[in-house]
Amino acid sequence: MLLGVLSDTHDRLPAIDGALAIFRARGVQAVLHPGDLVAPFAARRLLAWTGPLHVTYGNNDGERKGLRTVLPMIQDGPLWIDIDGRRVLLHHAEEWCRPEDLARADIVVTGHSHEIVNRVEGGRLRLNPGECCGWVTGRCTVAIVDTRGPSAEIIEVNP
């Protein structure tokens, strides 16, 4: 199964739209966003996704009530998702995860640092897709996870 992952979108609407277009074109079946959407108007862009959507709050998501109004599924991490026989741990920052949670996850998806992490350790995928917004690094990136590996591909978004 293919999962689309975008993080740290920080209100950059063209990047969100571009990410979702890539996910549709690549046959992604579910989308994960580990936080820092920031404002409800940006969260509304995710409603264009018609499949399963899993979202956690980040440290810059100050309008929590407004975000929950737009995305009722949003929650504080850790969020556990059982998908295609894999246990996925979704949280904004890896350092916010408890060691025992990291140990029992097959796939760990985080954001926060705006830095790409894409490695397999002991059969466990650790993934941070980088920043979709491009504000810090100058690169707008997302990831597509193949749960069969598990493995991930980092993809540049051109907003």
Which domains occur in the chain, in start order?
Answer: 2-156 (3.60.21.10)
Mean pLDDT by 10 residues, the chain (159 residues): 98 98 98 98 97 98 96 98 97 97 97 98 96 98 97 97
What pLDDT is attached to residue 17? 98
How high is the pLDDT of residue 89?
A: 98
**Structural contact between residues 91 and 56, judged by C-beta atoms closer than 8 angstroms:** yes
The SS3 call for residue 60 is coil
Q: How high is the pLDDT of residue 158?
A: 95
What residue has token string 């979704």?
90
- Predicted pLDDT at 39: 97
pLDDT of residue 145: 98
Contact between 141 and 130 (Cβ < 8 Å): yes
Residue 5's pLDDT is what?
99
Which one-letter DSSP state was computed for residue 123?
T
- The pLDDT value given to residue 75: 98
Is the Cβ–Cβ distance between 131 and 8 less than 8 Å? yes
Distance CA 56, CA 96 (A): 12
